[in-house]
C-alpha cells in the first residue's frame, strides 16, 4: 500500500505547506513501511524538488481546466490517483484549499478524516494520532 | 427558495473547559452553550436573503434535547422552523452523513453551515455534507449575493480572496465577512415570544458508521512566565532565546 500526498501550488509554485506535507508523509511512510507518492496539480515548478522532502514517486496532473482551483475537480484527481496506486493513506495540508478538498476526498473514498493533525501517529493499527 | 442553516451547539467562548472520565469526555457541567459563531454569520446572511426574496429558513442541529434552546434562539432570530435530529454527535463524518440523509429529498436551494464549529474546529462537516449531497461547495465563504438562482460568491484563500459564481443549489461554509459582526442579529423580545410557537420537529437519526473516536483530550500547556528584557539588551535576548526558549 502507498501514501498519497497532495502538493498545493500557487501561481504554479509549490507552497511551503506542500513541502511540510511531503515531509510528514515521508515520516508516515517510514512508520507504515509505505511508498510516498506526491501528486501535483497544475504546478509549473520542477516537481523533482519534492523528492528532496521524501517523495518516492511524483504524479503530475496537467490540464487547462485545473489551472484554477476547483475543489471537486481536484478531489476527483486525488481520488483517481489513489485508486490507481493502491493508496490507503492520503495527506493534505490544512490550508483553506486543503480543507475544501479533504472532506470531499474522504466521502468519495469512504475514508476516515482527521484534521488539525499535529504529530505522526503513535500507532498505525488502529491509526491513532494527536 | 428554501434555505437550510446548520446550527452547532457549542460552549460559549468564555467557558472554562473541563474533561472527565480520564480526559476522554467533554464535561458539559457549568457550560453555557451558544449558537456556533460561524453559524451566526450564516444565519444572519440567510435572514437578509429571506427579507429580500421571501425565502424560508430551516435551522437544523444534530444533538440531544439539551440543544433545543440553541435552536429556539435561532428561531427567535428569525428562522421559520427548526429540525433537531435526535442523536448524540459522535464524530464529524457521521454527523455529515446524518444531515445528508435528512436533507436528501428536501430540495433546499441553499445550505449554509459555519466554516467550522468552535468546539472541535474540525471543519469537516460542510465539505462532507456537500459531497454526500453532490452539491457545489464553497468553503470559507465571505460573500454571497443572489440573483435568482445565480450566486456570486467570495471565499477566503490563503493570503487573499477568490470570486466565484455558481448556480443554486449550493452549499457554503460561512465565516466572518458573510455579514459583518455589527450586523449579527440579537433576538428581540417579540422574536423570543414568536419562537415559542414556531415548529421544532424532532426526527430520528438514520444509522450511520462512526469513522473516528476520541481517545483522550489534552488541555493546552500553561504559558510560561514572561521575562522582560531591556530593549537595548540584545545579547541577553539572544542568550535567553538560545538557552531557555531553545528556538535559536
Q: What is the pLDDT of residues A57-77, one digit of tens each?
A: 999 999 888 988 999 999 999
What pLDDT, in 10s, does the model give residues B49-104? 999 999 999 999 999 999 999 999 999 999 999 999 999 999 999 999 999 999 99
Contact flag A112-B212 (C-beta cutoff 8 Å): yes
Residue B14 to residue B12: CA distance in whole angstroms? 5
Q: Is B211 on the interface with A (CB under 8 A)?
A: yes
Residue B131 to residue B125: CA distance in whole angstroms? 10
Which residue of B lies nearest to A75 if distances are taken between CA atoms?
B131
Largest CA distance in chain B: 69
For position B82, what pLDDT does the model report?
A: 98
Interface TM-score (ipTM) > 0.85: yes
Q: Cα B8 to chain center, whole Å?
A: 5
Q: pLDDT > 70: what percent of chain A?
A: 100
What pLDDT, in 10s, does the model give residues A6-44? 999 988 899 999 999 999 999 999 999 999 999 999 999
* Strand-strand pairing, B170-174 and B137-147: parallel
pTM for the full predicted model: 0.92
Which residue of B lies nearest to A100 if distances are taken between CA atoms?
B139
Q: Is A103 on the interface with B (CB under 8 A)?
A: yes
Contact flag B157-A97 (C-beta cutoff 8 Å): yes
A123 and B221 in contact (C-beta within 8 Å)? no
Contact flag A113-B128 (C-beta cutoff 8 Å): yes
Strand partners, B25: B20
What are A78's three cell numbers? 486525488
B40 and B79 in contact (C-beta within 8 Å)? no
Q: How is residue B122 annotated by DSSP?
A: -
What pLDDT, in 10s, does the model give residues B176-218? 999 999 999 989 999 999 999 999 999 999 999 999 999 999 9
Segment holding A99, helix H or strand E: helix A96-109
Amino acid at each position: 500500500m502507498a501514501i498519497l500526498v497532495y502538493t498545493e501550488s500557487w501561481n504554479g509554485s509549490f507552497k511551503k505547506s506542500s513541502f511540510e506535507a511531503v515531509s510528514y508523509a515521508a515520516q508516515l511512510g517510514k512508520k507504515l513501511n509505505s511508498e510516498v507518492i506526491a501528486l501535483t496539480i497544475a504546478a509549473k515548478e520542477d516537481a523533482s524538488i519534492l523528492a528532496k522532502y521524501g517523495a518516492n514517486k511524483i504524479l503530475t496532473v496537467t490540464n487547462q481546466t485545473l489551472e484554477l482551483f476547483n475543489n471537486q475537480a481536484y478531489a476527483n484527481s486525488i481520488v483517481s490517483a489513489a485508486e490507481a496506486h493502491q493508496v490507503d493513506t492520503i495527506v493534505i495540508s490544512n490550508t483553506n484549499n486543503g480543507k475544501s478538498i479533504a472532506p470531499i476526498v474522504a466521502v468519495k473514498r469512504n475514508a476516515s478524516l482527521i484534521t488539525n493533525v499535529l504529530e505522526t501517529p503513535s500507532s498505525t493499527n488502529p491509526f491513532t494520532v494527536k | 427558495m428554501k434555505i437550510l442553516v446548520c446550527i452547532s451547539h457549542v460552549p460559549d467562548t468564555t467557558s472554562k473547559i473541563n474533561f472527565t472520565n480520564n480526559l476522554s469526555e467533554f464535561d458539559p457541567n457549568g457550560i453555557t452553550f451558544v449558537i456556533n459563531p460561524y453559524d451566526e454569520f450564516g444565519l444572519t446572511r440567510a435572514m437578509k436573503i429571506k427579507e429580500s426574496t421571501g425565502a424560508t429558513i430551516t435551522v437544523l442541529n444534530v444533538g440531544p434535547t439539551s440543544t433545543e434552546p440553541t435552536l429556539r434562539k435561532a428561531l427567535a432570530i428569525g428562522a421559520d422552523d427548526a429540525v433537531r435530529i435526535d442523536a448524540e454527535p459522535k464524530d464529524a463524518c457521521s454527523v455529515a452523513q446524518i444531515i445528508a440523509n435528512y436533507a436528501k429529498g428536501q430540495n433546499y436551494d441553499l445550505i449554509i453551515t459555519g466554516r467550522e464549529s468552535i468546539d472541535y474546529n474540525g471543519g469537516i462537516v460542510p465539505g462532507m455534507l456537500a459531497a454526500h449531497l453532490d452539491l457545489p461547495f464553497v468553503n470559507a465563504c465571505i460573500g454571497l449575493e443572489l440573483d435568482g438562482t445565480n450566486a456570486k460568491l467570495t471565499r477566503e484563500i490563503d493570503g487573499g480572496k477568490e470570486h466565484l459564481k455558481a448556480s443554486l443549489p449550493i452549499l457554503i461554509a460561512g465565516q466572518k465577512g458573510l455579514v459583518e459582526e455589527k450586523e449579527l442579529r440579537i433576538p428581540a423580545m417579540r422574536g423570543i415570544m414568536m419562537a415559542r410557537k414556531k415548529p421544532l420537529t424532532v426526527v430520528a437519526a438514520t444509522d450511520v458508521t462512526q469513522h473516528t473516536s476520541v481517545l483522550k483530550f489534552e488541555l493546552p500547556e500553561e504559558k510560561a512566565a514572561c521575562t522582560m528584557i531591556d530593549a537595548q539588551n540584545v545579547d541577553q535576548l539572544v542568550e535567553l532565546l538560545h538557552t531557555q526558549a531553545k528556538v535559536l
